[in-house]
Amino acid sequence: MISLKSSFLLLHKRIGQARYMFDEIPHGGDLLSLNSLLSLHVRRNDPHSAWDLFHKRHHEHSNFDSYTFTPILKACAALSDIKRGQQVHGLVIKTGIDSETITKTAILDMYSKCGYFYDSLLVFEEMKLKDIVTWNAMISSFLRQGLAKEALGYFLEMQREGIEFNGFTLCSVLKACAFLSSSMQGKQIHALVIVIGYNSIVFETALVDFYSDSGLIGEAVKVFWNLNCSKDDAIYNSLISGCVKNRKYKEAFSILSEMKKPNVIALTSVLVACSENSNLLKGKQIHCMAILFGFDSDTQLSNAILDMYAKCGDILNARSVFDRIAHRNVVSWTSIIDAYGTQGLGDEALELFEKMEENCSVSPNDVTFLSVLSACGHSGLVEKGRKCFVLMKEKYGIDPGPEHYACYIDLLGRASLIEEVWSLYDGISKNSSKLTGAVWAALLNACRVSLDVVRGEFAAKRLFELEPEKPGNYVLLSNFYAAIGREDRKEELRILMRQKGLIKEAGSSWITV
C-alpha cells in the first residue's frame, strides 16, 4: 500500500493533494516520497514549505540521501538563508555523502546564491569529480560577482578538461561577453553554435540579449527573424526590451505587433519607449491594448501607463490611471507626485504626498522624497521643501544621497538663499561621496542666481575636475559668466566646446512629430 501511494505521489500535480497524501502514508512516508515532495515544493517556488517538511523529518530521525539534500539546498538558496544552508552542509558531511558530485554541486550553488562566493569556490576546488552541472554552477557564481573575465577563464579550463559544454554554458558565456563588451568573442560563440547545429530557444534568447547589450540591435533582430523554432514570450520580451534600450522605438513597436497576445513585460517595455519618445498617441494605443487583454488591473503595468502619460504632459490621464489603481505601491505614489511636480503643480504634489502619509500603508522611499523636493523646487516652495528634507531623515530614517542634496541646493539656490546653500555644503564637504557632479552643478547654478563670483568659480573648478567632457556643464558655466557680465569668458567656452566636438544637450517637448 505504501509503495502504491508513493508511486501515485510522483504523478500528482497539485501540491496540496500531494502533501495530504504524503502525511497519510504510515511512518512519515518513504524516502522516495519525501524527495519527490521536497522537489515539488521547490519547483512551485515554496521554499518555506520545503524547509518545514525537511526540518520535521530530520527531527523524526528520517534517513536522507543526495536527492533529499539537493532540493533542500535549493530551498536554502531561494531563501538566501546561509545559516540553514550551512546546517544542511554539516548534515551532508555527517551522513557521509559529501563526496557525491550532485550534492557538492548543490552546496556550491547554495553558497554562491547566498552571496558566499569564496565558499562556493572552495567547494569547487575541493571536488575531485566535476560534471557539466558543476562547471556551469561555478561559471554562474563568477558572473554573480561581476567576474566575467574569470568566468570566461573557467569556460576555457572546462574545455581543456574535456568537459562538453551545453546550452546553459553557452548562455553564461554570452552574458560574460556582454559584460566585458566583447562583441568579437560573443560572435565567435554564435558562429560555433551555427557550426555544430545547436538550436535552442533559450540560447537564441541569450543571443538576442547579448547583441542588445552590446548595442548591436540589428544583429539581435536578425537572430529573431532567422529563428527556426517557435518563438516564446521570453524572446519577444528580450528583443522589445533591447530595441527600447537602444532607442530603436519603431522596431520595438513592430516586434510587439508580431505577438499574438502581448504580455505585461512587453507592454511595459514599449510604454517606456513612448515615455522616452513623448509619443502620446502610441502610448494611448498601448493603454487600449492593456485594457483589451485584461491587464489594466496589473499594478506594474498601470504604473508604466501613468508614467507614460506624465512624461507626455497629460496630467489628467495620469491622474485618472492613478485613481483606478486598486493596489497602489510606492512606485504608483511616487510617479503621480513626480507628474504633478514636473508640471509645476507643487501644492498638488505635496497634497498627494500628505495623502500617502496619512491614508495608506505604503511608506515613501528615497525616490519619493526626491520627487517631493523636485516638486518644491519647480514651484518655489522653500519652506515646505525644508520640512520634507528634515522629515526624510528624522521620521523615515532615510540618509539623503547626492541627488537629494543637489535637489535641495537647487531649491535654496533658486530662492537666492546662498548662505544657507553654502552652510549645507559645509555639512557634507567632508564626505566626498556626497559631492558628485550634480551637487557641484547645483552649487554653481545657485551662485549664478546670487551673482556669487568667487564661490561660483570654485564650484565650477570642482565640477570640471569631475566631469570635464559633459556638454551641459559648459552651458551651465556659460550662463554663470553671462549672469556676472563676463561675456568674454562665455565666448571662450563656446569656442572650447566646438574644439572638443561637444554638442549642447537637446531639450525635449511634449509634442509628437
pLDDT band for position 305 (cuts 50, 70, 90): very high
Answer yes or no: is 326 within a domain. no
Q: How far is CA 281 from CA 104, 240, 287, in A?
A: 56, 19, 10
Percent of the chain with pLDDT over 70: 92
User: What are 234-252's pLDDT values in tens digits?
Assistant: 999 999 999 999 999 999 9
Q: Which range has the worst mean pLDDT, 117-121, 185-189, 367-371, 439-443? A: 185-189
pLDDT above 90 (res 99):
no
Cα gap 185→201, rounded to integer Å: 21
User: What are 196-208's pLDDT values in tens digits?
Assistant: 878 788 889 999 9
Mean pLDDT, range 44-62, rounded to an integer: 89
Measure the N-to-C terminal CA separation of the chain; round to a whole number of Å. 74
Q: How far is CA 204 from CA 52, 209, 257, in A?
A: 39, 9, 20
Answer yes or no: is 100 within a domain. yes
- What is the per-residue burial (b if ≥16 Cβ within 10 Å, else e) of 446-459? bbbbbebbebbbeb
Closest residue by Cα to residue 323 from 343, 347, 342, 296: 296
Cα gap 274→290, rounded to integer Å: 14
**Cell 509628437 identifies what position?**
512
- What is the per-residue burial (b if ≥16 Cβ within 10 Å, else e) of 204-230? bbbbbbbbbbbebbebbbebbeebeee
Ramachandran angles phi, psi of 106, nearest 5°: -65, -35
Answer yes or no: is 91 within a domain. yes
pLDDT of residue 29: 58
Mean pLDDT, range 272-283, rounded to an integer: 94
The amino acid at 158: M
CB 393 within 8 A of CB 400: yes
Answer yes or no: is 41 within a domain. yes
Number of domains composing the chain: 2
pLDDT above 60 (res 68):
yes
pLDDT above 50 (res 499):
yes
pLDDT above 90 (res 329):
yes
Answer yes or no: is 43 within a domain. yes
Last residue of a domain, one of 129, 158, 189: 129
Q: Which range has the worst mean pLDDT, 56-60, 366-370, 408-412? A: 56-60
CB 400 within 8 A of CB 365: no
pLDDT above 60 (res 2):
no
Q: How far is CA 209 from CA 67, 151, 228, 290, 378, in A?
A: 34, 18, 18, 25, 39
User: What are 3-25's pLDDT values in tens digits?
Assistant: 545 554 554 445 555 555 555 55
pLDDT of residue 444: 95
DSSP assignment of 328-356, as one string? Answer: --HHHHHHHHHHHHHTT-HHHHHHHHHHH
pLDDT above 80 (res 358):
yes
Alpha helices in 246-381 (DSSP H): 249-258, 264-277, 280-292, 299-311, 315-324, 330-342, 346-359, 366-379
pLDDT band for position 505 (cuts 50, 70, 90): low
Answer yes or no: is 92 within a domain. yes
Q: Which range has the worst mean pLDDT, 41-55, 128-142, 207-221, 481-495? A: 481-495
Mean pLDDT, range 77-82, rounded to an integer: 95
DSSP assignment of 60-117, as one string? Answer: TT----HHHHHHHHHHHHHHT-HHHHHHHHHHHHHHT-TT-HHHHHHHHHHHHHTT-H
CB 76 within 8 A of CB 84: yes
Percent of the chain with pLDDT over 90: 72
DSSP 246: T
Q: Which range has the worst mean pLDDT, 32-46, 336-350, 438-452? A: 32-46
**Does pTM surpass 0.75?**
yes
Q: Which range has the worst mean pLDDT, 117-131, 411-425, 487-501? A: 487-501
Cα gap 424→78, rounded to integer Å: 44
pLDDT of residue 6: 55
Mean pLDDT, range 273-287, rounded to an integer: 94
Last residue of a domain, one of 89, 113, 129: 129
**Cell 564637504 identifies what position?**
429
User: What are 466-482's pLDDT values in tens digits?
Assistant: 998 888 888 888 889 88
DSSP assignment of 374-389, as one string? Answer: HHHHHHT-HHHHHHHH
Residue 420 grid coordinates: 544657507
**Cell 574535456 identifies what position?**
162
pLDDT of residue 3: 53
Cα gap 286→395, rounded to integer Å: 39
Provide the sign of the torsion angle of the four alpha carbons 244, 249, 250, 253, taken in this order: positive
Q: Which residues contact 61 (CB under 8 A, 6 or more apart)?
A: none
Which one has a higher pLDDT value, 431 or 455?
A: 455
pLDDT of residue 163: 92
Closest residue by Cα to residue 29 from 54, 51, 46: 54
Last residue of a domain, one of 98, 129, 160: 129
Answer yes or no: is 154 within a domain. no
Domain with 63, as residue range(s), is 33-129
Cα gap 346→334, rounded to integer Å: 13
Answer yes or no: is 291 within a domain. no
Which one has a higher pLDDT value, 71 or 98?
A: 71
DSSP 314: -
Cα gap 369→372, rounded to integer Å: 5
Per the prediction, the chain carries an average pLDDT of 89
CA 393 from chain centre, in angstroms, equals 26
Cα gap 251→239, rounded to integer Å: 9
